[in-house]
Structure 1
């Protein structure tokens, strides 16, 4: 992807990220089963669960129900500085279904777009797969494949039902930072390649100092710090377009950054940070194949029906100890295995993400060269080797209306310019204020998650 804007948080009276633990609502994680596979039809079910990110939760004084964060501003008494904020504020347990529109059933997770509740309305969610009550599940993707089913039929222009991996700490930083009492159990520790600065707490401290409330969103803002790490976007999609994108960082692991030196969508200088915010992406529509993916039987992959998405992380040795050489994609629909479309753009060939593909894409689409500058596929390989946390989310885009995914972007370029046309949505589509009214009932479901050896997680009937 070329842009990822601030994820929209709940419009509850208080939504923030914090480190202490509240006692008003018990934290009960929705269960979610998934499978590990060693060969075709040889899979074992794992009893997992999901946790919602702390940015969506009610944050209040450790001594009372006084909000630490209201609307898009901090309480100056509770949060006079970053360290005090972490000590004074508690993150509360979540009512997943009634407040956030998150439900699970067996292997299926559903995330609703707009959920009305007693405090107003919640918009979308970001969740993580848990290994146990206090630890995120981590995946070693090299030499393996990851498969899931997804229903995007109810995701119109401007929405993004995303499944991806980031190099978060497995315990959410619980063991490393003194003032972090919440950890993974309460969804703490998010980072990605945009080095997000909308996070309310980072590395056991608040992000209240130099906080600037958003001028366009009543719930978000940008703080003086950000949190960077490598990101592997398996799936960013709605019913119109999808993209698979690798985002390496020059440093491995989660890294805090300062102000505009963070780079990414949240900063004045996009390429100032340690991560590649653009990444090397594969979007068939952007590569000239406009009939591969979309709603209806005229498309090769019909988004009116459930889709099985298979992603393989091929190494140079063919083993889990090799170096990443290609990211391959297959689909399974109605019993048919469908290979990812080949590029139809002159100068870019193939249907896999490889070093040669990324170099060609950057050249033809006149990219900034950040993928190579941040270490390219080899640095992405190093991040994958260390293990990554699974993220599942539904969000809208206050920064760019998701045009970078499903329309013409940037909007000051013509659609005929290579790389600009990314989907069939209008450039006037995707405005959050509009779609929250018109498409409030939208949702995404993810199900049947499987992880294992190459060619072990999918079959054609």
Structure 2
């Protein structure tokens, strides 16, 4: 796939704008990380986090009227994509009071699920790691490992505390799209393998045309590496390759909506390793081998065929550290799938066959394509609930009408209805996740591999 650029679109980008408001000062919460070259040899980087632009107050540039609110876009100021981008701005964020985003200690970040505020309440959040106030911290994951500690003890069924990488532009898209005036400093440029269409501004354009039930006519696609999607009952890590290798706007079939799922630019299913789904129901959860009532350190390694930072991605491995002990990932116990604990092209092919799933992962290039994208990734940390399918794909029976005894259908112990957003937001408004101690570096440099 490629992006077609016409003279009309090029001209339009000059007059559109994702502009900056001046009503709320933007101050990025600090979240330092460590870069490691060998075990015990790490240096601290002065990184911080920035709130995604989609969560921000969007208002007219010359006043306080909302451009976007509970009823959708303001028809007066947002008659079309161009007018809306010209008339509207995103503003700074009060991280703690409005969004429940705090830094309880150095190197730690707490994301609250529901936060009561002056405007009602905020549900969930998504932030990105910054290298500076105007640039995201980018990562080449090849031949490296990424480590962090997480507390998911308060994340119930239907919730997801997610840590992942997306192939976003380091500046949030400012240099490629002159209509984007806000950039990484205000959390712009988001994309992932689901090609989300709920993004309000894409490439400096407002996503007004075709907006209905929370989605517009455009989506924002890019490769995604899910390091950690989890609550206290289930977890999975999943590569999602694409046939594009930068943040790319989609429309129509390329977004993969409905029956076009396997025609999309990106592999929405990915190739997941969920220990419960792979046959070990005692590995992860409260009181299990990896005990989710306590914080756990999560290590993900990206091995290349030749052991270099530019080599072809060959496999993705997982380890945990809890209570001072290193815990190897569970191994597959599914008939027809080798008893391995890592993701590779062979594992994915066997798993898709055993579960009767479409191997769109291989269609879009598998590990080779994923490896190409892993050279320039942006770190994302979030907490969210699922308005589409109640997070059943992570922690319950999915599809709901399938036989839970069929291989691949059961992903966790949760009742399918427990993930209903209205239920979760009412009964578990006090849920939160804490991420801390991010480390990145050479294989076996970020934890004691004993």
- Secondary structure at the aligned position of 1:368 is classed as coil
1:55: which partner in 2? Answer: 54
- Secondary structure at the aligned position of 2:383 is classed as strand
1:155: which partner in 2? Answer: 155
1:288 maps onto 2:299 in alignment: no
* Displacement after TM superposition at 1:460 (Å): 6.1
1:318 maps onto 2:307 in alignment: yes
Hey, what's the Cα distance between the residues in 2 that align with 1:321 and 1:69? 43
2:269: which partner in 1? Answer: 278
* Displacement after TM superposition at 1:86 (Å): 1.2
Aligned pairs for 1:133-172 (under 5 A) are 133-172=133-172
* Displacement after TM superposition at 1:414 (Å): 0.8
Aligned pairs for 1:395-410 (under 5 A) are 395-410=384-399
Hey, what's the Cα distance between the residues in 1 that align with 2:320 and 2:71? 41
The alignment's C-alpha RMSD in Å is 1.1
Hey, what's the Cα distance between the residues in 2 that align with 1:308 and 1:245? 18
* Displacement after TM superposition at 1:412 (Å): 1.1
2:359: which partner in 1? Answer: 369
Structure 1 residues not aligned, in runs of 5+: 1-17, 215-220
Higher helix share: 2
Hey, what's the Cα distance between the residues in 1 that align with 2:262 and 2:73? 29
Hey, what's the Cα distance between the residues in 2 that align with 1:72 and 1:348? 48
Change over 3 Å in CA distance of 1:456–1:173 after alignment to 2 = same
Map Cα deviations across residues 318-344 of structure 1 (whole Å, 9 max, x no partner): 111211001000000111111000001
- Secondary structure at the aligned position of 1:418 is classed as coil
1:392 maps onto 2:381 in alignment: yes
Change over 3 Å in CA distance of 1:236–1:167 after alignment to 2 = same
- Secondary structure at the aligned position of 2:31 is classed as strand
1:380 maps onto 2:373 in alignment: no
For these two proteins, the number of residue pairs brought into alignment is 432
Hey, what's the Cα distance between the residues in 2 that align with 1:136 and 1:250? 23
- Secondary structure at the aligned position of 1:318 is classed as coil
If the length of structure 1 is used for normalisation, what is the TM-score?
0.92
Give the alignment partner of residue 341 of structure 2, picking from 324, 348, 351: 351
2:3: which partner in 1? Answer: none
2:124: which partner in 1? Answer: 124
* Displacement after TM superposition at 1:261 (Å): 3.3
Hey, what's the Cα distance between the residues in 1 that align with 2:252 and 2:172? 22
Hey, what's the Cα distance between the residues in 1 that align with 2:440 and 2:183? 25
* Displacement after TM superposition at 1:250 (Å): 1.1
Give the alignment partner of residue 438 of structure 2, picking from 424, 429, 449: 449
Hey, what's the Cα distance between the residues in 2 that align with 1:394 and 1:194? 17
Hey, what's the Cα distance between the residues in 2 that align with 1:69 and 1:205? 14
* Displacement after TM superposition at 1:260 (Å): 4.4
4+ runs deviating over 2 angstroms: 266-269
